[in-house]
Structure 1
Amino acid sequence: MSPDRNTEKASKPARRNTWQKQAIVENVMARHDHPTAQKIHNDLSALGIGIATVYRNLATMAEDGLISTVEHDGEVRYDRNVGPHAHAVCNVCDGIWDVPLPNNLPSALTPKGLATVDEIDLTFRGRCPTCV
């Protein structure tokens, strides 16, 4: 084995696929509401999954690129959509929805002085139809 592979293995340990992790993955992937860790824990606490387990697994899922995180009003929320997209946030009920982005948006918005766009963080704020 080459030294690079040894370094890579040492820096990124294999993740175990426990039943707790599987339950958390299934919960996040079934949702569209960008839940907090507490909401996910509330759903799964009857299974005996602790809040620390929820936080730890969400952190590794985000680190591994399985989910993304969204900061809203000082809270971290979790998003199953890891592709390019924006968010719409209701200022009344705090609901968050994914908004698809046109494929050419990053190139259309690339400011002079940047060679590439690695990430766009775009949020539309207003009132959802329920709260109008």
Structure 2
Amino acid sequence: MAMDTIGKADMKYTNQRVEIIAFLREHKGHPTVDEVYDGVRKKLTRISKATVYKNLKFLSEKGLLEEVNVKGVTRFEANFVPHHHLICRECGKMEDFKSEELFDYSMKIAEEIEGFNIDSMSTNFYGICKKCKEENING
């Protein structure tokens, strides 16, 4: 996300918001509020967790971040390349899963829905990750 994207979102350009977005762009996973706070605090040492949380919510509402809830934990990402998620029911690990075929098929179905203009979608797949599966077999 380029800095000019922030201006397009019709919002105040603050150092905290820029650092939060920069952290999320560099962090390829799906960090929690605590993980974002720990990362951003390295550059903005005086920032509070409440400020990080409020800005994450604000940026999500503006469409600059995606908020995903897994096992009661809110995670954030700034990856807007169409993708889906693989979510482990055991450990809560979340991975991106890209499938243009699934995306194209879903958007084709979305075009047929009347009275609702769909511009994006994502699918979550739930199961057991390889690590948890191996631990269950060996444990």
Number of residues paired by the alignment?
119
Aligned equivalents of 1:52 and 1:74: distance in 2?
Answer: 19
- 1:120 corresponds to 2:121: yes
Give the deviation of 1:15 after TM superposition: 0.8
SS in 2 for 1:25: helix
Aligned equivalents of 1:14 and 1:22: distance in 2?
Answer: 12
Q: List runs of 5+ in structure 1 lacking aligned partners.
A: 1-11
SS in 2 for 1:62: helix
The C-alpha deviation readout for 1:55-89, integer Å capped at 9, x for no partner, is 12212222232211112122221011124321100
Root-mean-square deviation over aligned CA pairs: 2.6
Q: Check the 8 A contact 1:32/1:97 in 2, yes or no.
A: no
Q: Hey, what does 1:5 align to over in structure 2?
A: none
Aligned equivalents of 2:111 and 2:26: distance in 1?
Answer: 37
Amino acid in structure 2 at the alignment position of 1:128 = C
Give the deviation of 1:129 after TM superposition: 2.6
Instruction: Write out the 4+ residue segments of structure 1 that deviate beyond 6 Å after TM superposition.
Output: none
The C-alpha deviation readout for 1:25-78, integer Å capped at 9, x for no partner, is 221111122111122113334522101110122122222322111121222210
Q: Hey, what does 2:40 align to over in structure 1?
A: 44
Aligned equivalents of 2:107 and 2:13: distance in 1?
Answer: 39
User: Percent identical across equivalent pairs?
Assistant: 24
- 1:80 corresponds to 2:81: no
Q: TM-score, normalised by structure 2?
A: 0.69
Q: TM-score, normalised by structure 1?
A: 0.72
